[in-house]
Amino acid sequence: MPEHASAPRDGTPRILVVTPTYNEAGSLADTVAAILSATPEAHVLVVDDASPDGTGAIADGLAAAEPRVSVLHRAGKQGLGRAYVAGFRVALDRGYDVIVEMDADGSHPASALPALVAALADDPAVGLAIGSRYVPGGGLADWAAGRRLLSRAGNAYARFMLRLGVRDVTAGYRAYRAEVLRGLPLDEIDSRGYCFQIDMTLRTLDAGWRIVERPIEFRERTAGRSKMSKAIVAEAMLRVTVWSFARLLRRRTPVSRPMPGANATR
């Protein structure tokens, strides 16, 4: 794959789907095939954290057979957030216009990808389109009751504490306008687990961009084991609480000049 993506002749956006992997050997090939079928103009970047199950080798084979696929190998498991930031840097360096986050485990429907990309094209004020489980038309296809409750409770807590209007703030299926990521201090983003999505949502809103949500039906992963753990949940709860109090203190601190308004409604 070339270092910089060439612009399509018809002016369509250059799209890179970033999919982090760790032990996704059973689902990666099907996920990549589904992405390229749903959005033939897209490219895929697999960010593999030295998966011991051979996922990296599978990714290399896919890249050798398909010029729209490339692979970024990292030395070891460093967390979801850092994997995405590494992928974002590659996307920006190569000149893509739209950068998509998508899981490699089959839980995110590739069929929804065109709608996410279109949401950015429809309104230049929209910087982030989220594939949402919690807007009308979205849902959870086959999750156990306990996991449904944990997900909904986590989203509700984040929305309440941070005063967010986004329904699915922890969603990991999302499309960013490149200008959003280019304007964020990627070096400062150190959230590693699923709170990375909350962190990025806050930063996008604070930068003045609008966020829209498009419904998806989220399914249980087709292979492998979930990466969710008590440590990941604890990190998210702690960071949301800290961010909430930090934002409250900022709102109560007098400023000497008017603050610029945001385009998004909390």
pLDDT digit string (tens) for 55-91? 999 999 999 999 999 999 999 888 899 999 999 999 9
Please name the helix (run of DSSP H) or strand (run of DSSP E) that holds residue 116, with its range, or none.
helix 113-122
CB burial of 58-75 (b: ≥16 within 10 Å; e: otherwise) equals: bbbebbeeeebbbbbebe
Q: Rounded to two decimals, what is the model's pTM?
A: 0.84
Q: For residues 182 and 91, give the distance between their C-alpha atoms in angstroms, rounded to a whole number.
A: 10
Q: How far apart are the first and last CA of the chain?
A: 40
Question: Can you give the pLDDT at residue 255?
Answer: 38
Which has the higher per-residue pLDDT, 247 or 230?
247
Question: Can you give the pLDDT at residue 23?
Answer: 95
Amino acid identity for residue 118 in this structure: A
The residue written with tokens 């306008």 in the block is 177
Task: Give the chain's domains with CATH numbers.
Answer: 15-252 (3.90.550.10)
- How many CB atoms within 10 Å of residue 4? 11
Question: Can you give the pLDDT at residue 243?
Answer: 78
